[in-house]
Structure 1
Amino acid sequence: MTGRLTTGNIFLLILLMTGISCPPSLYAVENHKDSLLNLVEKIKEPDKQCEIYVHLADLCNGNEESLPFWEKALQLAFVTNNESVVELALDYLIFNNIWYGNKAEAERFSKIADEKLPEDRGALFRAYMRSFQIWKRLDTGDINETLHESLKKLRGHQGNLTPEEEIEWEFLTALSIDYGVMVSGAYQELNEAIPYLRRAVELLSAYPLEQRYPFELLCYRKLANIYTALDNSAEAVLIIEKIIELHKREQAGQKFCFGFDRIYYNDDSFYYEEYVRLLSLPELSAEQLENYFEEFMRLHKRLQYKDQSYWQVLTRYYTSRQKLKTALSCNDSVIKCVHQNSRSADCLFPYLNRSDLYKQLGDYKNALYWLAKSDSVREQLHSEEIRQSMNEMRTRFNMDKLVLEKLKSDDQTKMIALIAVLIISLCVIAWGLHQRLMVRRLQAVKDKLLKSNEEVMKQSLRAEESEKMKTAFIDSMCHEIRTPLNAINGFTDLYFSEGVDESTRGEFQMQIQENTYRLTGLLDTMLELSKLVSSDEALPAEPTDVYAICAQQVEALKERNIKKGVECTFRGVPSLCTFYSNSFYFSKVVSHLLDNAIKFTQKGEIILSCLPNVEKRVMEISVTDTGIGISPDKQEWVFERFTKVDAFVPGTGLGLYLCRLIINKLGGTIKIDSTYTSGCRIVIELPCQSSVH
């Protein structure tokens, strides 16, 4: 040893003196920045300067202030041929410039990547950057145009694609399916995108981890989004856990790739975001929920985030633990965050969640209030969609008009040149051809305008119909709620009046109780209807004894039947088939049909029949009465919302609509038998799922 200090030893000594080798939590961020900025002026070696600029960028924690530091690190990495830092810096520069809306800067660094990255190692990174930029363009631009341009370039090399282009092809094909589904609304086709992403991940496995990491992370995130959209929580959990594991492995190998430790890099935000996504998935097991929530809270203590996603996670967690009041408090914070961001459209799901929490607590008044608020937001969103569609049509019309004017101007200029060169006869022929072409174009524009006008009229009629239905619903509900409320108020006043004997008080008490049940049933029906209408899923089904339910409902009808001239009869035979149904909702349907029959039958008989039809392999359930009946022209109309055969008979006009909604979700059918003329007969057919041998 000669005792001389080499340049590398001097650099390490300065790092120790400035505290760079210590954890960043021991020093203020600004002090570290100042120290590093002073140090970078003293150090002359490009590789050490590059390392310091990476540290400075990491201290900025991904915000816009980090961009100049990443650009300087990129320049020095090119000088020192540090390909890992080159790719890292380009990734940050392109991603963050897109994030902060600096489109021109993002394109500039994309060109640098295309020009300066080596062919062998840089091919995969360039494919990743193109795929990432296309994904972001799809979120903000013309979906069809963007996908068409991107896939067109690759189709030109079809049959002669490089391995990197094959991966890009698989990813972009999955994107085209995903966003095509968004445009068409055919969400059942979303499954078709999964095999392409799986193949892309399989092809990426042939590359080293430090090269494939960004592209593989991109594929996994798109897979997680698709599984979440398909409500496949089990697969979504597996993919998000793979994302976390992939990031841990990549971070463990960074020192080997870069040649130094990123001691100021903090990836807590990365893990926080992934655990938020995990905790937002439905159908998590209790163990998964506890484990993910514990890790989420550990990250939260370090980051101290109090954003909307934090309160949403707490709301869902406490709801699953049945701590409903705590969940309500957290839901309040979600709504406050939404209001602070001035995004009223985001209030829909917090309002619905709040209504459901009040319903679980038994506070139906507040549940109905928040349900009404969510309906108001939904109506507002619907109106905004209509307004946006009309604006788009108007814009297209103006654009077509400008194009037409430009074409006309160009054609006139061409005609002047032709007249100067050609003889009159050729000019006449050319003019005739031109006019024919113009007529076709004008006809095409006219057809487009007519179609646009028809669409505007349809949207206007839908809006008017929606407004009328809302008005009818409010009027009907006000009347139906006011009737039992008036009865409750009136009998309550009489109950507390002086001079009323105990027997009369008992009758008043029964009237108060009966009207209270009626009002509660009405609100329950509305909440149930809202739940059924807002969900497209089938009702949960299990083996159900349909015969026993029908028998129970007839006995219940006999107990509450106060009409002496009406007889209630049950005719049924137990079936040898197994019926998968929902006993709660099926009971509600049968009960409502029987109540309807007794309401409109003053004298005669009500028959509930439950008989198997062997040929059709169904169970036929029918309710027959000798009441006023329903005319043939109204036998389908009565199954619509807010329809009543007799406007003077109490009711909301939702009963038969709710019955058909439930039976359809149970896989059956319900209709009125038009051949029966002595009253009304409603027939339900439930399919048999399996035979009992």
Structure 2
Amino acid sequence: MKQRILLLLLLCLSGSVSQAQDQIQKQDSDSVLWAVAAQELQAGHYEKACSLYLDLSNHTIAIYQDINSRKVEDLRTKFSIDEVQLQRNIQQSRLLRLIWIAGIILLAVFAGCFFYIRKQNRWLAHSREELNRAKALAEESIRNKSLFLSNMSHEIKTPLNALSGFAEVLTMPGIDEATREQCNDIIQLNSELLLKLINDVIDISCLDVANMKFNIKPCDAVVLCRNVVKTLSAIKQTDAEMLFETDLDTLELDTDVERLQQLLINLQVNATKFTKQGSITLKLEKTEDGMARFSVTDTGCGIPLEQQSRIFERFEKLNEKAQGTGLGLSICQLIIKRLNGDIWIDSEYTQGCRFVFVHPLKQEARS
């Protein structure tokens, strides 16, 4: 009975119920043979009993071999299915890995293109700014050139006409000595004016050259200021009084004496053009931070507040009828910048005009 149950279980596990039933039927016939073999053994027919037992044993072995072969076949089939599934999983893994790699590469390419385009846009923006700056400079240069030619043609024409006209008067016969002296004074005045115009043009061109050398040496600023005011008082063409104020007995500073003198003269001469009455005062002080502070204050018409920001630009003139090229204040700014100082208009002073500039007491000689 146990053998029948075991055989049934084995055949069911192998997946063949009908075969299990056939084997059970065979097992019933084998039970009959087992019983016959037992009777033959009891009857003393040993050879026949042995033959029956051998047949039964071979038959049982054949059954178990058949079961084992079926199980092995089932295992092989299952293994084949598992292997196919494994290969499919491997292929899916490879495909997924390739998709990830392709995605990373595309992302890297996209990021590279994005940063490259961004860099190119920045470069283009920078180039556009440089181009606009160059264009603005070119337009400014053309405007300055036009202003220069216009101003110079106008400014030079006046003294040249005077020189030509009064020189012709001097050659006329019969003129008296007083007329001759008057013509000579007018010719001398216009000659100086023409020379001043030419000197302004030379100065503005020279000061723009980066390698122009400044002759730096010690100078007593108090003495220099007194001499400038004394000289201008003797040749002034205004009724305004020329004054110099300072609490210092002496103030030594390192500077280019000729350029500093030119700066002081330009500021005071510029003040005489717009100050017919009152005073023009040059003041010298020493600041707490080790600078010399110069100021030129007049009681003239002053400069409107809206025009003060443009007063140091080249060819800028408040009064188009006044003599000059409009380069004087621009030259002053170039000089003081090269001497490591600064210049500005005191916008709080309203009784006329006040120009202020500071100059360091000590500095390295520069070119």
TM-score (norm. length: structure 2):
0.65
The answer to whether the Cα contact below 8 Å between 1:622 and 1:681 also exists between their aligned partners in 2 is: yes
Query: Max radius of gyration: which structure?
Result: 2
Instruction: Please give the residue correspondences for 1:335-350 in structure 2 after superposition, counting only pairs within 5 Å.
Output: none
- What's the counterpart of residue 604 of structure 1? 278
Q: Deviations over 1:425-483 (max 9, x none)?
A: 94995796455654554444344333333332322222222222222222222222222
Which structure 1 segments of 5+ residues have no match?
Answer: 1-420
* Alignment partners' CA distance in 2, 1:559 and 1:529: 27
Counterpart of 1:503 in 2: which secondary structure? helix
| Cα drift, residue 537 of structure 1 | 5.6
* Alignment partners' CA distance in 2, 1:504 and 1:452: 66
* Alignment partners' CA distance in 1, 2:116 and 2:291: 58
| Cα drift, residue 655 of structure 1 | 0.5
The answer to whether the Cα contact below 8 Å between 1:637 and 1:643 also exists between their aligned partners in 2 is: yes
4+ runs of 1 displaced by more than 6 Å?
Answer: none
* Alignment partners' CA distance in 1, 2:112 and 2:323: 65
> Using a 3 Å threshold, how does the CA distance of structure 1 residues 463 and 494 change in structure 2: closer, same or farther?
same
- What's the counterpart of residue 651 of structure 1? 324
Task: Letter of the 1:520 partner, please give it.
Answer: L
> Using a 3 Å threshold, how does the CA distance of structure 1 residues 574 and 438 change in structure 2: closer, same or farther?
closer
* Alignment partners' CA distance in 2, 1:508 and 1:466: 40
| Cα drift, residue 576 of structure 1 | 4.7
Q: Deviations over 1:273-330 (max 9, x none)?
A: xxxxxxxxxxxxxxxxxxxxxxxxxxxxxxxxxxxxxxxxxxxxxxxxxxxxxxxxxx
Say whether 1:622 aligns with 2:325. Answer: no
* Alignment partners' CA distance in 1, 2:133 and 2:285: 45
* Alignment partners' CA distance in 1, 2:233 and 2:247: 20
| Cα drift, residue 568 of structure 1 | 2.1
Structure showing greater relative contact order (alpha-carbon pairs closer than 8 Å, 6 or more residues apart)? 2
Instruction: Please give the residue correspondences for 1:157-176 in structure 2 after superposition, counting only pairs within 5 Å.
Output: none
The answer to whether the Cα contact below 8 Å between 1:603 and 1:627 also exists between their aligned partners in 2 is: yes
- What's the counterpart of residue 496 of structure 1? 171
Instruction: Please give the residue correspondences for 1:102-181 in structure 2 after superposition, counting only pairs within 5 Å.
Output: none
Task: Letter of the 1:623 partner, please give it.
Answer: V
Counterpart of 1:641 in 2: which secondary structure? coil
* Alignment partners' CA distance in 1, 2:271 and 2:343: 15
> Using a 3 Å threshold, how does the CA distance of structure 1 residues 570 and 452 change in structure 2: closer, same or farther?
closer
The answer to whether the Cα contact below 8 Å between 1:577 and 1:689 also exists between their aligned partners in 2 is: no
Q: Kindly indicate which of the two structures has a greater share of residues assigned to strand.
A: 2
The answer to whether the Cα contact below 8 Å between 2:341 and 2:359 also exists between their aligned partners in 1 is: yes
* Alignment partners' CA distance in 1, 2:276 and 2:325: 21
- What's the counterpart of residue 455 of structure 1? 130
> Using a 3 Å threshold, how does the CA distance of structure 1 residues 443 and 489 change in structure 2: closer, same or farther?
same
The answer to whether the Cα contact below 8 Å between 1:575 and 1:612 also exists between their aligned partners in 2 is: no
- What's the counterpart of residue 507 of structure 1? 182
- What's the counterpart of residue 519 of structure 1? 194
| Cα drift, residue 661 of structure 1 | 1.5
- What's the counterpart of residue 236 of structure 1? none
| Cα drift, residue 658 of structure 1 | 0.9
* Alignment partners' CA distance in 2, 1:454 and 1:618: 38
Identity of aligned residues (%): 33
- What's the counterpart of residue 547 of structure 1? 222
> Using a 3 Å threshold, how does the CA distance of structure 1 residues 441 and 494 change in structure 2: closer, same or farther?
same
* Alignment partners' CA distance in 2, 1:534 and 1:687: 22
Counterpart of 1:649 in 2: which secondary structure? coil
Counterpart of 1:635 in 2: which secondary structure? helix
- Number of residues of Structure 1 aligned to a counterpart in Structure 2: 267
Counterpart of 1:639 in 2: which secondary structure? coil
- What's the counterpart of residue 532 of structure 1? 207
Counterpart of 1:675 in 2: which secondary structure? coil
Say whether 1:594 aligns with 2:268. Answer: yes
The answer to whether the Cα contact below 8 Å between 2:343 and 2:355 also exists between their aligned partners in 1 is: yes
Instruction: Please give the residue correspondences for 1:238-387 in structure 2 after superposition, counting only pairs within 5 Å.
Output: none
The answer to whether the Cα contact below 8 Å between 2:295 and 2:356 also exists between their aligned partners in 1 is: yes
| Cα drift, residue 536 of structure 1 | 4.2
The answer to whether the Cα contact below 8 Å between 1:484 and 1:516 also exists between their aligned partners in 2 is: yes
* Alignment partners' CA distance in 2, 1:536 and 1:504: 49
> Using a 3 Å threshold, how does the CA distance of structure 1 residues 501 and 666 change in structure 2: closer, same or farther?
same
Task: Letter of the 1:629 partner, please give it.
Answer: G
Equivalent of 1:445 in 112, 117, 120: 120
> Using a 3 Å threshold, how does the CA distance of structure 1 residues 537 and 515 change in structure 2: closer, same or farther?
closer
The answer to whether the Cα contact below 8 Å between 1:554 and 1:569 also exists between their aligned partners in 2 is: yes
The answer to whether the Cα contact below 8 Å between 1:573 and 1:611 also exists between their aligned partners in 2 is: yes
* Alignment partners' CA distance in 2, 1:444 and 1:590: 51
| Cα drift, residue 666 of structure 1 | 2.5
Which structure 2 segments of 5+ residues have no match?
Answer: 1-93
| Cα drift, residue 636 of structure 1 | 3.6
* Alignment partners' CA distance in 2, 1:535 and 1:429: 58
- What's the counterpart of residue 473 of structure 1? 148
Q: Kindly indicate which of the two structures has a greater share of residues assigned to helix.
A: 1
Q: Deviations over 1:331-378 (max 9, x none)?
A: xxxxxxxxxxxxxxxxxxxxxxxxxxxxxxxxxxxxxxxxxxxxxxxx
* Alignment partners' CA distance in 1, 2:237 and 2:130: 54
- What's the counterpart of residue 248 of structure 2? 574
* Alignment partners' CA distance in 2, 1:617 and 1:441: 52
